Structure 1
């Protein structure tokens, strides 16, 4: 099992260690030197010893580069990041969920592995595995292990309900993730179980937090504030602090991915935050999202048009940049807007709000005007 990865990342070359947020940047000629050392089974070059020891406490003395280093090839497609909805199914039934109807659907394991191979060829170094709830997918452990073997830095977005299970803990401690992001829906069983509409969910979540802390897993908490749990905001923050995990607070709900507005009434009006101006993103150009069937889109929001990677293969990604540019055009009532340079939302998200018939002030600076 490799201990280090050397990988092209956009215009840079990085030395990474699975499970660590730290990295080293090296020039291209050093990347090529490491590539050659791994091919020839040569020892690690001397110039790398001290930086690796200082960064991660790893001693490379006398070790073959081939034994401990995985070298990622330069990709002609230029995608550095991706997210993968392994399954839309979930063991919770939260009213705020952007997924809407949650079906347990997806690819068989061999096609999941093929999708990961396509992502590797596309150049993906950072991969987020999400859902639904990814940890309940029967193929999660195999998919996670495969992504790790391909030299990806894997992040997981989860509700944490399964995190205390020994099999999953063993999977995540043997091949450590880059980050695990867990959503928090309450600080008491009554509130948490009521929000998730799942009896016993809070106790499973807290056991997961304790197990993750004991295992030293890199957890970050997303505190989700709604009209039914806002009274426990300070207690949710205290829960995060008690476990020593950093946290972020989210208050603004989005429509479902099919433009339905069910999540919007769950917002806690007194806690809504003014969004920062949207200044552009690399969605569709250096990042893409895949749904459970291998349909690649520019992101989780702008899902159509999409590219069927199972049918077209990696070559289909060459069309994604053009799709991204077309989706970002100001259309559907936004043409010629004098405030477009400081708009709060990207065009695909604004379109979902419009389809959900949301109040304009929730996504537009014009408000009720």
Structure 2
């Protein structure tokens, strides 16, 4: 099994190690040196051996490149990241969920394998497994191993309910993810189970956090602030301090991607984050989203005109940039707005808010009393 991955990443070339946050950027000439060495029994060059020792504390000096370095070639497409909804099914029923539906459906295992090969050949180096709850998919472990073996840095977005299972802990210990991000919905059974609408959900989450800590599996926590748990925010931070390498806080609730307003009911009053100005997004150009059936879209929210990868293959992705650009055009209630330079919401998300007939103060500056158009 390889120790490090050398790969193109957009216009750059990098060397990284699965499970490690640190990496190194290298020039094209060094990447070509590694690629050319694969079939010639050449040993790891000194610059890589020294870098691996310094960055990750591993010794690969004197070893053949082909035995310890997975060298990914240049690809015609410029995609380096993707998110994959392996299955929309979930064992929770969260009030704030942005999915329009949560069916336990998706591609058979053989087609999942073919999809992962397509993602690799599209240049995808960073792959996020999401759902639904990805770990409940019957092919999750198989697909994770497949993606890992193809040389992808993997992130898992999970509710943590299955982290305590030995097969999950063993998988993440043997093949470390780049990041495992666990959603934290409260600091007590009362708040957590209320938001997830799943009795016993908090108990499962804490069992998973403890199992990961004992096994040395590094976690990030995403603190989801809602009306159910806002009074426990400090307690949630303490849980994050104890069990996570890092954590982030998220307070803005959004409609489902097809404009259902139900998730907005979970919003914590006074906790709307309106500080970040939207400055553009490379969705559809350098990264994309794939649903359980192999349909690619610009992102999780902008799902118009999906590309059927299982039918069109990589050629279909050449249409995605234009599809994404069309969805980013200011239209409808956003057309001609004089505040667009300081807007905080991308067009696909704004459209979802508008279709949900959400109050302007939940996403738009006009809801703050400024009606300048």
What's the TM-score once normalised by structure 2's chain length?
0.97
Cα deviations across residues 58-96 of structure 1 (Å, max 9, x unaligned)? 112221111111110101110010000000000001111
Structure 1 residue 306: deviation in Å?
1.2
> Could you say which residue in structure 2 is the equivalent of 1:245?
245
Bigger mean CA offset, 284-293 vs 48-57: 48-57
Structure 1 residue 137: deviation in Å?
0.6
> Could you say which residue in structure 2 is the equivalent of 1:316?
316
Structure 1 residue 339: deviation in Å?
1.1
Cα deviations across residues 194-220 of structure 1 (Å, max 9, x unaligned)? 221212211111111111112222211
> Could you say which residue in structure 2 is the equivalent of 1:83?
83
> Could you say which residue in structure 2 is the equivalent of 1:136?
136
Cα deviations across residues 27-78 of structure 1 (Å, max 9, x unaligned)? 1111111111122121111222211110111112221111111110101110
Is the counterpart of residue 127 in structure 1 residue 127 in structure 2?
yes
Q: Distance in 2 between matches of 1:272 and 1:100?
A: 22
Q: Is the 8 A contact 1:178 1:218 kept in 2?
A: no
Bigger mean CA offset, 72-81 vs 268-277: 268-277
Cα deviations across residues 271-324 of structure 1 (Å, max 9, x unaligned)? 222141110010000000001011000000100111110110011000000011
What's the TM-score once normalised by structure 1's chain length?
0.98
Equivalent positions of 1:318-333 (< 5 A) are 318-333=318-333
> Could you say which residue in structure 1 is the equivalent of 2:114?
114
Cα deviations across residues 162-214 of structure 1 (Å, max 9, x unaligned)? 00100111111111100000101111112212221212211111111111112
> Could you say which residue in structure 2 is the equivalent of 1:188?
188
Q: Distance in 2 between matches of 1:85 and 1:35?
A: 32
Q: Distance in 1 between matches of 2:125 and 2:305?
A: 24
Gap runs ≥5 in structure 2: none
3-state SS, counterpart of residue 366 of structure 2: coil
3-state SS, counterpart of residue 47 of structure 2: helix
Equivalent positions of 1:333-352 (< 5 A) are 333-352=333-352
> Could you say which residue in structure 2 is the equivalent of 1:165?
165
Runs of 4+ in 1 over 3 A off after TM superposition: none
Structure 1 residue 228: deviation in Å?
1.4
Is the counterpart of residue 12 in structure 1 residue 12 in structure 2?
yes
C-alpha RMSD over aligned residues: 1.1
> Could you say which residue in structure 1 is the equivalent of 2:234?
234
Is the counterpart of residue 272 in structure 1 residue 272 in structure 2?
yes
Equivalent positions of 1:207-226 (< 5 A) are 207-226=207-226
